[in-house]
Amino acid sequence: MRGWQKIVLAVLVVYGVLCAAAYDVMRQTPGRFGQIMEHVPDIAFLVLPFKPLWFHARAGTLHVGDAAPEFTLPTQDNKSTVELASFRGSRPVVLVFGSYT
């Protein structure tokens, strides 16, 4: 194998490992994801395919029309909790995940 072929192969292997590592990080909990991503150099966002990796890693298993999984969340004042099951069949529920800042 020629020298340049070895270099190209090495670069492709490193690129594949970096993509796999980024994908693994994207599947972490949001808090852990943020802790790791704050250490990633800016050049990585230009080199690695973050958008396709993100969409695949965070796609989940729900599809349009599926029932939302059961969950319990604390209220904003942390004095009680709210269960999704308590609303089932009584009224529509809209779940909004995001930031308003």
- In a domain, residue 92? The reply is no
- In a domain, residue 68? The reply is no
What's residue 39's pLDDT? 92
What's residue 7's pLDDT? 94
- In a domain, residue 29? The reply is yes
- In a domain, residue 17? The reply is yes
Is-contact 82 93, C-beta < 8 A?
no
Nearest Cα to Cα of residue 28 among 40, 13, 16: 40
Is-contact 16 9, C-beta < 8 A?
no
- The pTM of this model reads 0.60
Q: Answer whether residue 59 shows pLDDT above 90.
A: no
Residues of the chain above pLDDT 70, percent: 98
Over range 39-66, report the average pLDDT: 89
Number of neighbours of residue 48 by Cβ within 10 angstroms? 17
Count of structural domains, the chain: 1
What's residue 101's pLDDT? 67
Over range 78-83, report the average pLDDT: 93
What's residue 12's pLDDT? 96
Partners of residue 81 on adjacent β-strands: 74
- What are the residues whose beta carbons fall under 8 Å from the beta carbon of 53, sequence distance 6 or more? 19, 22, 23, 26
Q: Which domain holds residue 51?
A: 3-57
- In a domain, residue 91? The reply is no
- In a domain, residue 11? The reply is yes
- In a domain, residue 72? The reply is no
